[in-house]
Amino acid sequence: MTGPKRMRPESAEADPELTVSYVVEPERRMSELSVDRPQSAVTTGRRSARGNWHNRLRIGIMGGTFDPIHNGHLVAASEVSWVYDLDEVIFVPTGRPVFKLDKKVTNAEDRYLMTVIATASNPKFTVSRVDIDRPGVTYTIDTLRDIRAQYPDAELFFITGADAVAEIMQWKDANKMWELAHFVAVTRPGYSSPDGVKLPEGKVDTLEIPALAISSTDVRRRAEHGEPVWYLVPDGVVQYIGKHGLYR
């Protein structure tokens, strides 16, 4: 993520919406990410688009305010999908983000529709309404429980920003999240993990991905001042922002 780290109240979860500036691990061993095909004549499972055999669906979950969704989010999701050989990445716009209760947030339906528009061209990307349809404040643990209920047999990979990892143990029911999903923290080149952060072994990976410095805050500021946001967000999102007069 770009810029200085923002301090948040102890009860607040870090925003999983990404301000992105990233590099990918070029040669992650697929032996770490795949399940070997059984040798018996009768097998269950599927072969992925990359030719790897998995006996369970592999689903990424990318939560965020998406106010608006931008190309950095899409690059992050695409890279995690490739490295972890995912079958699908579900984008989950937050309903009432706990870390922004005192801030103005664009209407949930507008954020949802922009996310649908932005992800429509990628057959692996889908969008879920679980957070915006759930009453009350949005917490990651609730998102994971809802997606787990929909996909009880899948391997889930929750995609978040690496800066959030420093605060992850302060999230609601943090000790229960590890049972529901594996965490992938995307980061920029040269990022150093903060000292003193103790996480369960083997539950969080840090993944550097291609450099692309974009933030939703900057997109909103540019739109507010009538500056172009082309190529920062997908073309359809540019048109949606203009048509509905968002951020003006």
Report yes or no on 228 lying in a domain: no
Residue 52: pLDDT band (50, 70, 90) is: confident
Tell me if 158 sits within 8 A of 181, measured CB to CB: yes
90-113 pLDDT, tens digit each: 999 999 988 788 889 999 999 999
159-206 pLDDT, tens digit each: 998 878 778 878 899 889 999 999 999 987 766 666 666 777 889 998
Mean per-residue pLDDT for 58-83?
A: 97
Report yes or no on 36 lying in a domain: no
Q: The pTM is what?
A: 0.81
The whole domain housing 71 covers 53-213
3-class secondary structure, 242 = helix
Query: What is the number of H-type helices and E-type strands within the chain?
Result: 8, 8
Rounded-to-integer distance, Cα 203 and Cα 182, Å: 5
Report yes or no on 106 lying in a domain: yes
Tell me what pLDDT residue 13 has: 57
Report yes or no on 192 lying in a domain: yes
Percent with pLDDT over 90 in the chain? 59
CATH number of the domain bearing residue 73: 3.40.50.620
110-122 pLDDT, tens digit each: 999 999 999 999 9
For the record, the structure tokens of 22 come out as 């990233």
Tell me if 71 sits within 8 A of 234, measured CB to CB: yes
Q: Name the domain count of the chain.
A: 1
Report yes or no on 31 lying in a domain: no
Report yes or no on 87 lying in a domain: yes
Report yes or no on 248 lying in a domain: no
What average pLDDT does the structure give for the chain? 83
Report yes or no on 19 lying in a domain: no
**68 prior amide bond cis, ω within 30:** yes
Tell me what pLDDT residue 137 has: 93
CB count, 10 Å around CB of 231? 11
User: What beta strand segments (E) does 65-196 contain?
Assistant: 88-93, 125-127, 155-161, 182-187
Rounded-to-integer distance, Cα 115 and Cα 22, Å: 21
